[in-house]
Amino acid sequence: MNPAIVWFRHDLRLADNPALHAASASKRPLVCVYIYSENPRHAKSHTPRSPGAASRWWLHGSLEALDETLAKHDGQLTILRGHPVDILAKLATATKAEAIYWNRRYDAPGRALDDAVETTLRQRGVAVTTCNGHLLYEPGTLRNQSGKPFRVFTAYWRAALKLSPPEKPLSAPRKLHFHRLPKQGNAKFKLNPVPLSRLALRPQKPDWAGGLSATWTPDEPTAHAHLKRFLATPLDNYSTDRDRPDRLGTSRLSPYLAFGNISVRQIWHTAHTTVEKHPAPGKQRQLAKFLAELGWREFNYQILYHHPDLAERNFQSRFDPLRWRTDRRGLEAWQRGRTGYPIVDAGMRELWTTGWMHNRVRMVVASFLIKHLLIDWRTGEKWFWDTLVDADPANNAGNWQWVAGSGADAAPYFRIFNPILQGEKFDPEGDYVRRWVPELARLPAKFIHKPWTAKAEQLAIAGVRLGKTYPRPIVDHDKARHRALLNVKSLA
């Protein structure tokens, strides 16, 4: 039989990969391909956002792991570089492929690109099959009573939970058959596979990824290990511990989910099955809270689907006149974790070192940038896009707009997180700050979230010299809050 092409994207796994499963079920020999293309320019609308630096590091590891897994089945992942429309058309011709399979994307540029690929291949007689391998409920599945997309999460999730449960995840194909590509020297095969190293996804000089390598292993088995660990104990106190950056209370699955090392259906059904097998008082409530976080991701994808410029324009246009400040020093202090507010600095340093930040702290640092410094939320969104290993086009933009107050179901603009109180409430002993801001490690918990209130002798005993070893606050909280509230009045 002539082969089928499986086009991998953000679904870098074998289990519960609907496109791979359907292609394998066709009994055709497979050509598994990944196409790397930065800012393709085939058409103006076909410009998917290029991955940031931390995401490129994760992508390298995931592609390497996927290729090793395919090799165990006597296959390989072919990596090609260029524009997908041209690449796939040539690949189909060179291999005489009769079908292509992929899992759908939901950002507007990705959808436009996929439509262009589908049109081109169908014209050449190649059958195209697309699947849902990324979401529980695809955008458009849920509408409010007026027939419009939901704008409020609670109503959206309530409606989602009334639907039939998501389909059960698919097992990895037991046996895969592969098609051998023509030799590179064959004149008919004008596409030369690219070694993964040539994509230069990992940093070289300097290699800043030591903290990422020490923290993460981007592959399918590790994703499931994280899920198993989380369901074993942390889920028991999830509703409270998820807000504690000093505890291992979250699943830490976000990067694995973003790149498809694990599927959302696998998480959903494994969590349900585990709780059913090991019931305990209150565990269903904890499970519901955890699954609602998956629901928030679904909600953000629905918003992105209908508002493709979510990372660029205010979801609520009434925020367009808002005045932003240009503050290079403030921005740099925020990026480097040198604001003088320990919980903010701890979060930004955790991000810089590991490519990840605790969810509660993400809200605090985002609020600080937007409302204490009055710096445009889009600036913060871009920084997170470049530094997060879990940078996701829907969640990243949607969450920044939520904090800014300009998004769907957003926090009110006048909700301004107090970084001192947030630290004292969610890192009461200062363990999180001590880990990421070691120059404050010897301060008592009473002062660790507001070191400027300690007496000189207390600072001396702790080895802290404000303005020297640790900065003084770059902005006064009360004054910054007042300034932010005055700024929002300009919208009236």
CATH number of the CATH domain containing 297: 1.25.40.80
Asked if residue 196 is part of any domain, the answer here is no
How high is the pLDDT of residue 384?
Answer: 98
**Residue 278 amino acid letter:** H
pTM for this structure? 0.96
Instruction: Enter the DSSP assignment of 369.
Output: I
- Which of 394, 492, 455 is closest to 135 using CA atoms? 394
The count of other CB atoms within 10 Å of the CB of residue 167 is 13
Domain assignment present for 481: yes
Do residues 340 and 437 both lie within one domain? yes
Contact 344, 451 (CB under 8 A): no
- Asked if the structure places residue 300 within a domain, the reply is yes
Within a domain: 175: no
CATH number at residue 66: 3.40.50.620
CB-facing half-sphere around the CA of 104: CA atoms within 13 A: 17
Residue 489 has a pLDDT of 84
Q: At what angle do helices 377-387 and 359-367 cross, to 10 degrees?
A: 140
Contact 422, 343 (CB under 8 A): yes
The encoded tokens of residue 122 equal: 């169908």
Based on the domain organization, do 299 and 335 belong to the same domain?
Answer: no
Give the Cβ contact number of residue 205 at 10 Å: 5
For residues 127 and 65, the answer to whether their CB atoms sit within 8 Å is no
Provide the residue-wise pLDDT of the chain in tens; the chain has 492 residues. Answer: 899 999 999 999 999 999 999 999 999 999 999 999 875 444 444 567 899 999 999 999 999 999 999 999 999 999 999 999 999 999 999 999 999 999 999 999 999 999 999 999 999 999 999 999 999 999 989 999 999 999 999 999 999 999 999 999 999 999 999 998 876 555 455 678 999 999 999 999 899 999 999 999 999 999 999 999 999 999 999 999 999 999 999 999 999 999 999 999 999 999 999 999 988 889 999 999 999 999 999 999 999 999 999 999 999 999 999 999 999 999 999 999 999 999 999 999 999 999 999 999 999 999 999 999 999 999 999 999 999 999 999 999 999 999 999 999 887 878 899 999 999 999 999 999 999 999 999 999 999 999 999 999 999 999 999 999 999 999 999 999 999 999 988 786
Query: Which range of residues forms the domain containing residue 122?
Result: 1-134
- Among residues 134, 152, 187, the one where a domain terminates is 134
Residues shown for the chain:
492
Six-digit token string for 481: 């809050």
Please state, in angstroms and rounded to a whole number, the distance separating the CA atoms of residues 19 and 62: 18
Instruction: Based on the fold, state whether residues 326 and 452 are members of the same structural domain.
Output: yes
Residues 349 and 413 in one domain: yes
**Exposed / middle / buried, residue 4 (Cβ in 10 Å: 0-12, 13-18, 19+):** buried
Residues 289 and 343 in one domain: no
Surface-to-core class of residue 476, CB atoms within 10 Å of its CB (0-12 exposed, 13-18 middle, 19+ buried): exposed
Task: Determine, yes or no, domain membership for 340.
Answer: yes
Within-domain flag for 187 = no
Which of 257, 272, 306 terminates a domain? The answer is: 306
Asked whether the beta carbons of 395 and 298 are under 8 A apart, the reply is: no
Which one, of 207, 203, 182, 179, lies nearest residue 193 by Cα?
182
Domains identified in the chain, total number: 3
Q: What is the dihedral sign for C-alpha 424, 284, 226, 266?
A: negative
Nearest CA-CA partner of 61 in 201, 233, 210: 201
Residues 281, 152 within the same domain: yes
Shared-domain flag, residues 121 and 238: no
Nearest residue to 330 (alpha-carbon basis) of 178, 194, 483, 198: 483
* Alpha helices (H) in 233-339, listed in sequence order: 238-241, 254-259, 264-277, 283-306, 328-336
Active site positions, annotated:
293, 296, 324, 359, 377, 400
Q: Is residue 194 part of a domain?
A: no
- If you write DSSP's letter for every residue of 192-211 in order, what string do you get? ----GGGG--S--SS--THH
Residues 254 and 330 in one domain: no
Question: Exposed, middle or buried, 173 (CB in 10 Å: 0-12/13-18/19+)?
Answer: middle
How far is residue 173's CA from residue 370's CA, in Å, rounded to a whole number? Answer: 47
Domain's final residue, options 237, 272, 306: 306
Query: Do residues 96 and 163 share a domain?
Result: no
Query: Are 17 and 7 found together in one domain?
Result: yes
In a domain, 46, yes or no: yes
- Return the pLDDT at 337: 98
